[in-house]
Amino acid sequence: MYITYRKPTPADGQAVYQLIQRCPPLDQNSLYCNLLQCRDFSDTSIIAQTEDGTIAGFISGYIPQSRPDTLFIWQVALSSEFRGQGIANTMLTELFRRDARLTHMETTISPSNQASRKLFTRFFKEHFTSVETKTLFKQGIHFNNDHEDEVLYLAGPAIRLDQQSA
Ligand SMILES: CC(C)(COP(=O)(O)OP(=O)(O)OC[C@H]1O[C@@H](n2cnc3c(N)ncnc32)[C@H](O)[C@@H]1OP(=O)(O)O)[C@@H](O)C(=O)NCCC(=O)NCCS
CATH of the domain at 101: 3.40.630.30
- The protein residue with its alpha carbon nearest to ligand 1, atom 23, reads 115
Q: How far is CA 69 from the centre of its chain?
A: 16
- What single-letter amino acid sits at 99? D
Which of 71, 74, 76, 125 for a ligand 1 pocket mutation test, highest count of atoms within 8 Å of Cβ? 76
The ligand 1 atom nearest the CA atom of 77: 39
- Which residues constitute the domain of residue 81? 3-163
Q: Cα(74) to centroid of ligand 1, in Å?
A: 16
> Does the structure show a pLDDT above 70 at 166?
no
Report yes or no: 102 and 69 within 8 Å, Cβ to Cβ.
Answer: yes
Question: Model confidence over 146-165: pLDDT tens digits?
Answer: 999 999 999 999 996 555 54
**What's the pLDDT band for 1 if we cut at 50, 70, 90?**
confident
Cα–Cα distance measured from residue 19 to residue 22, given in angstroms and rounded to the nearest whole number: 5
**Average pLDDT of the chain to the nearest whole number:** 95
Overall domain count for the chain? 1
The number of CA neighbours under 13 Å toward the Cβ of 71 is 28
Question: Model confidence over 81-139: pLDDT tens digits?
Answer: 999 999 999 999 999 999 999 999 999 999 999 999 999 999 999 999 999 999 999 99
Cα–Cα distance measured from residue 24 to residue 26, given in angstroms and rounded to the nearest whole number: 5
The ligand 1 atom nearest the CA atom of 122: 33
Pocket-forming residues, ligand 1, beta carbon under 6 Å:
23, 25-26, 75-78, 83-89, 113-116, 118-119, 122
